[in-house]
Amino acid sequence: TAKAGPSQLRFFNNQMNETIKRRLKLNLAISQAINKRQFEVYYQPKVDVNQKRIHSFEALLRWQNNELGKISPAEFIPIAEESGQIIELGKYCFSQAIQQAKRWQKISGRAINVAINLSPVQFNDPGLLPFIKMELDKHQVPAELIEIEITEGVLMNENPAVSHRIDELKQMGCLLAMDDFGTGYSSLSYLRRYPFDVIKIDKEFIEDIEIDESNQHLVKSTQALGRAFNSIVVAEGVESKSQLNFLRLIQCDLIQGYYFSPAVPAEQAEKLLKNSDEL
């Protein structure tokens, strides 16, 4: 095996320093941004292709910082997870999102769910359920409008407190969605163990769905699985007409992706909803 020479080590150290510096910087900036309300919640529609209208929305955090520019959730969520700042940030997102769901119902006269992503750290927080209950009560939002999206990461450690929280959320009336379905190792066993209302097929499987036969089989099977388990199936990351056509062919329930719309600010989401209902 080749040993790293001194220059390679120096390179490695510099890289590491840069990574650590960036993390520290963002960590500090996140705290300031929370206080200054710099985070915004955007909403991406999930479209019912058969009924030709918006079925629901997913809430996604966005952050534009004066000095650092636009920072992707893929970068700041893991940092906020590690530092625990995700608890505060998640509460803000939840509160915004449920109030928005209430407005959508008012505008459209029908129930429009909002899906909210909850990370492992959020799910391990004993304050999660009391917060959700208090917030729904405070804003008079029915739990049935709330969909909680979790990934395998939440379920992985077999923490009894986490299972208990999932049961409690379901008992309250919240819907439960499995996010990034198919990317983990144990998706199937979790489907059997937990009462998922929604299965979200990861965009990795949708990307080349028009040509990749194994992905076609996977997506088709997931759709059948959804039927068997009485769960709604959502295809994520749909960007093109040809992807849409395939998903239509196999009668996938809901479609989410840039083909219809990226995540947009609340005001724009309301416009999308109004237009969708006029069709």
Tell me which residues touch Ca ion (CB under 5 A). 117, 149, 179-180
Closer Cβ to Ca ion, 81 or 149, answer by number: 149
Element (H, E) at 264: strand 264-265
Q: Which does 177 bind (CB under 5 to 8 A by kind): Ca ion, ligand C2E, none?
A: none
Question: Least distance from C-beta 4 to ligand C2E, angstroms?
Answer: 34
E strand map for 51-201: 53-65, 69-71, 113-117, 146-150, 175-181, 198-201
Closer Cβ to ligand C2E, 117 or 276, answer by number: 117
Four-CA torsion 161, 162, 164, 168, nearest 10 degrees: 130
Question: Least distance from C-beta 206 to Ca ion, angstroms?
Answer: 11
Cα separation, 271 vs 267, in Å, equals 7
Tell me if 259 sits within 8 A of 243, measured CB to CB. Answer: yes
125 binds ligand C2E (CB under 6 A): no
- Find the part of the chain contacting ligand C2E (CB under 6 A) among 98-106, 111-119, 133-141, 181-189: 111-119
Task: Give the residue from 51, 30, 186, 27 showing the smallest Cα distance to 112.
Answer: 51
Four-CA torsion 41, 171, 191, 237, nearest 10 degrees: -20
Closer Cβ to ligand C2E, 81 or 223, answer by number: 81
119 binds ligand C2E (CB under 6 A): yes
Task: Give the residue from 188, 192, 125 showing the smallest Cα distance to 154.
Answer: 125
CA 103 to chain centre: 20
Cα separation, 228 vs 175, in Å, equals 18
Backbone CA torsion sign across 155, 94, 253, 266? negative
263 binds ligand C2E (CB under 6 A): yes
- Find the part of the chain contacting ligand C2E (CB under 6 A) among 26-34, 126-134, 235-243, 270-278: 235-243
Tell me if 146 sits within 8 A of 113, measured CB to CB. Answer: yes
276 binds ligand C2E (CB under 6 A): no
Closer Cβ to ligand C2E, 11 or 208, answer by number: 208
114 binds ligand C2E (CB under 6 A): no
Closer Cβ to Ca ion, 100 or 117, answer by number: 117
61 binds ligand C2E (CB under 6 A): yes
Q: Which does 253 bind (CB under 5 to 8 A by kind): ligand C2E, Ca ion, none?
A: none
Question: Least distance from C-beta 276 to Ca ion, angstroms?
Answer: 21
Which residues of this protein are in contact with ligand C2E, per CB under 6 A?
44, 59-61, 72-74, 77, 90, 93, 117-119, 179-180, 203, 237-239, 257-258, 263
